[in-house]
Amino acid sequence: MLQELQDKFYLNFIDDNRWAYLTNGLKTTLIVTLFAVLLGIAIGFLVAVVRSTCDKTGKLRILNALCKLYLTVIRGTPVVVQLLIIYFVIFGSVKIDKVFVAILAFGLNSGAYVAEIIRSGIMSIDNGQFEAGRSLGFNYVQTMTYIVLPQALKNVLPALGNEFIVLLKETSVAGYIIRSRTYDAFMPLIAVALIYLVMVLAFSKLLNLLERRLRNSER
């Protein structure tokens, strides 16, 4: 039994330097997650601002309609399908870096969820805050920047953190298009699970610290 485990360990990680796949995979996952998160925040932020500006002022109607379409499509289809469509259909005929495709797909996907999280944060801020800003003479953009968004982002920080953890785990499906090597399932999968668990726990801990810091600044 123990011997068997040892053999498997050897076969999966040591032999043929296979552990390198794991560390490379880890590196790829982190790169994909990091850039997808950044892309997701950028997209989500813009979409959320467009959506709530339209809700509040009735302006940007066309952009708002486009944003709604984007949200519906992205949130209504599985991320794996989106990934495969982008890789095999949109970029099917050109040679393109798989990591780039993964970043694009996960960024686009995450952006939709981030947008709705940030929008809910903006909506949760009492309209009196907005009016107080405007009454002092701030224009719409200034009121958003100095008064509404800082409070909104702080309120949705836990939800955003959660979204990033989801994203971090989801990027593992990028492995479908990136590689599959040994046919033994047990060892690599357990190892991968452990690695993700550690990363998620570490990230949650960081997030907790950040939240506490922010809350302290108000009391």
Partner 1 sequence: MNGKESLIRVEDLKKEFVGVHALNGVSVEIKRGEVVFVVGPSGSGKSTFLRCLNRLEDPTGGHIYFDGVDLMDGKININKHRQKMGMVFQHFNLFPHMTVLKNMTIAPMKLQGTGKEEAEQEAMKLLERVGLADRANAYPSQLSGGQKQRVAIVRALCMKPEVMLFDEPTSALDPEMVGEVLQVMGELAKENMTMVVVTHEMGFAREVAHRVLFMADGQILEEAPPQEFFGNPKNERLKAFLSKVI
In the complex, the residues that contact partner 1 under the rule CB under 8 A are: 126, 128-129, 131-139, 142, 146-147, 150-151, 154, 217-219
- 134 versus 169: smaller Cβ distance to partner 1: 134
- Asked whether 99 and 32 are in contact (CB, 8 A), the reply is yes
Closest separation between CB of residue 37 and partner 1, Å? 24
For 197, the token pair is: 């668990």
Closest separation between CB of residue 160 and partner 1, Å? 17
- 8 versus 154: smaller Cβ distance to partner 1: 154
Closest separation between CB of residue 153 and partner 1, Å? 10
- Asked whether 170 and 202 are in contact (CB, 8 A), the reply is no
Closest separation between CB of residue 216 and partner 1, Å? 11
Q: If you write DSSP's letter for every residue of 132-160 in order, what string do you get?
A: HHHHHT--HHHIIIIIIHHHHHHHHHHHH
215: left (phi over 0), alpha (psi -120 to 50) or beta: alpha
Q: What angle do CA 188, 194, 199 make, to 5 degrees?
A: 125
Distance between CA 219 and CA 204 in Å, rounded? 23
- 45 versus 138: smaller Cβ distance to partner 1: 138
- 135 versus 208: smaller Cβ distance to partner 1: 135
- DSSP-assigned letter for residue 59: -
- 95 versus 219: smaller Cβ distance to partner 1: 219
Closest separation between CB of residue 204 and partner 1, Å? 24
